Amino acid sequence: MHAAGHVTIGDYEKALRPLLEQQVKQTGRINFLLVLETNIKNFTAGAWCGNIRLGLKYFTRWNKVAVVTDQDGVREFSHLFKYILPGKFTGYKLEELDEAVKWVTGIK
């Protein structure tokens, strides 16, 4: 998933929700890669609520989540999710995108 510009609840409904539903139907778990090329201030309140709702809806399904961004605070914050949600969470710099893809997919 790639986030750029202004992110709204509509973006979650059109793009993210179907992707997660498909993964859960196919594998029973979620491996997710977010390439974040926008400031988190560009997420609307609705987008944040959608994020929380999806996180809770699939609470037991999260397996691997990688957040790829050049925002240091966001990368560091991603690691904290391992204390809140089951699964493995990690952050990568944009220049480490290939490494993040390999980690999320398990491809070496």
pLDDT per position as a tens digit, 22-39: 999 999 999 999 998 877
pLDDT at 79: 64
Residues in the chain predicted with pLDDT less than 70, given as ranges, are 77-80, 82
Q: What is the pLDDT of residue 41?
A: 81
Which pLDDT value is given to residue 94?
95
pLDDT, residue 71, reads: 81
Are 86 and 60 spatial neighbours (Cβ–Cβ below 8 Å)?
yes
Q: Give the pTM.
A: 0.81
Residues near 94 by beta carbon (within 8 Å), at least 6 away in sequence: 35, 37, 68, 69, 70
Query: How far apart are alpha carbons 58 and 8 in whole angstroms?
Result: 20
